[in-house]
Amino acid sequence: DIEMTQSPSSLAASVGDRVIITCRASQDIRGYLNWYKQKPGKGPEFLIHATSSLHTGVPSRFSGSGSGTEFTLTISGLQPDDFATYYCQQSLTNPLTFGGGTKVEV
Partner 1 sequence: EEQLVESGGGLVQPGGSLRLSCRTSGFTFSSYWMHWVRLSPGKGLMWVSRMDSLGINIHYDDSVKGRFTMSRDNSKNTLYLQMNSLTADDTAVYYCARGDNGSLGHWGQGTLVTVSS
Binding site for partner 1 (CB under 8 A): 32, 34, 36, 38, 41-46, 49-50, 55, 87, 89, 91-92, 94-101
CA-closest candidate to residue 104, choices 18, 23, 3: 18
- The residue among 62 and 87 lying less far from partner 1, judged by its C-beta, is 87
> Please, how many CA atoms are within 13 Å of residue 17, restricted to the half-sphere of its CB?
14
Residue type, 3: E
> At its nearest, how many Å lie between partner 1 and the CB of residue 14?
25
What is the separation, in whole angstroms, between the first and last Cα of the chain?
Answer: 34
> At its nearest, how many Å lie between partner 1 and the CB of residue 96?
4
- The residue among 16 and 41 lying less far from partner 1, judged by its C-beta, is 41
> At its nearest, how many Å lie between partner 1 and the CB of residue 84?
13
Q: How many C-beta atoms surround the C-beta of residue 35 within 10 A?
A: 28
